[in-house]
Structure 1
Amino acid sequence: MIDRWTGRLGRQMTRRSRALVLGLLLLAAPAVGKLAEQQAITPVALPELDGPKLELGRMLFMDTRLSGPQTMACSSCHMLDHAGADGVARPVGASGRRHDFNTPSVFNAVLNPYLNWRGDRRDLEYQSEMVLLNPDLMGGNWPVILSRLQADANYPRGFQAAYGQKPQREVILDALVQFQRSLITPDAPFDRYLKGDAKAIDETAKQGFALFRDYGCIACHQGRNVGGNLFQRFGVFPPAEPSLQDDQPAALGRYLLTGREEDRHLFRVPSLRNVAETAPYFHDGREPLLENAVGVMARRQLGRELSSREVARIVAFLRTLTGTYQGKALVSSIPAAPGQVPPP
Structure 2
Amino acid sequence: MAQPLPLLVVAATLGASAVALAQSVGGPFMPLPALPVLAAERVELGRKLFNDPRLSSNNSLSCASCHQLDHGGADRLPRSLGVDAKPLPVNTPSVFNASLNFRQFWDGRAQTLEQQAHLVVQSPTEMGSDWTVVVQRIAADPQYRSGFAQAYSEGVSEHSIQNALATFQRTLLTPGSRFDRYLQGNTEALTTEEKYGYQRFQEYGCIACHQGVNIGGNMFQKFGVLGDYFKDRGNPSEADLGRYNVTGDEDDRHVFKVPSLRNVAVTAPYFHDGSAATLEAAVEVMFRYQLGRTPSAEDQALIVQFLKTLTGEWEGKPL
TM normalised by structure 1 equals 0.84
Measure how far apart 1:276 and its partner are: 0.4
* Residue 176 of structure 1: aligned partner: 165
Residues 68, 122 of structure 1: alpha-carbon distance in 2 compared, 3 angstrom cutoff: same
Question: Aligned AA for 1:117?
Answer: W
Aligned pair count?
309
For the residue of structure 1 that corresponds to 2:195, the secondary structure is: helix
For the residue of structure 2 that corresponds to 1:92, the secondary structure is: coil
Deviates more, 1:247-256 or 1:200-209: 247-256
Measure how far apart 1:96 and its partner are: 3.0
Tell whether the 8 Å contact from 2:215 to 2:261 is kept in structure 1 after alignment: yes
Tell whether the 8 Å contact from 1:32 to 1:40 is kept in structure 2 after alignment: no
1:66 corresponds to 2:52: no
* Residue 9 of structure 1: aligned partner: none
Distance 2:82 2:215 in 1: 29
* Residue 240 of structure 2: aligned partner: 251
**Please, which of 204, 211, 225 is the counterpart of residue 222 of structure 1?**
211
TM normalised by structure 2 equals 0.91
* Residue 39 of structure 1: aligned partner: 27
* Gap regions ≥5 residues in structure 2: 1-7
1:51 corresponds to 2:40: yes
Residues 307, 125 of structure 1: alpha-carbon distance in 2 compared, 3 angstrom cutoff: same
Distance 1:26 1:51 in 2: 43
* Residue 242 of structure 1: aligned partner: 232
Measure how far apart 1:34 and its partner are: 9.7
Residues 194, 212 of structure 1: alpha-carbon distance in 2 compared, 3 angstrom cutoff: same
Distance 1:37 1:276 in 2: 28
Distance 2:49 2:299 in 1: 44
1:83 corresponds to 2:45: no
Distance 1:167 1:36 in 2: 43
Measure how far apart 1:230 and its partner are: 0.7
**Please, which of 109, 132, 136 is the counterpart of residue 98 of structure 2?**
109
Residues 120, 33 of structure 1: alpha-carbon distance in 2 compared, 3 angstrom cutoff: closer
For the residue of structure 2 that corresponds to 1:232, the secondary structure is: strand
Residues 74, 317 of structure 1: alpha-carbon distance in 2 compared, 3 angstrom cutoff: same
CA offset digits 1:251-284 (Å, max 9, x no partner) = 1211222222211111111000000010000110
Tell whether the 8 Å contact from 1:33 to 1:214 is kept in structure 2 after alignment: no
Measure how far apart 1:124 and its partner are: 0.6
Distance 1:52 1:83 in 2: 25
* Gap regions ≥5 residues in structure 1: 1-19, 331-344
* Residue 288 of structure 2: aligned partner: 299
For the residue of structure 2 that corresponds to 1:40, the secondary structure is: coil
* Residue 142 of structure 1: aligned partner: 131
For the residue of structure 2 that corresponds to 1:320, the secondary structure is: helix
Measure how far apart 1:35 and its partner are: 6.1
CA offset digits 1:217-252 (Å, max 9, x no partner) = 00100000000111111111225981124x222212
Question: Aligned AA for 1:228?
Answer: G
Distance 2:9 2:307 in 1: 28
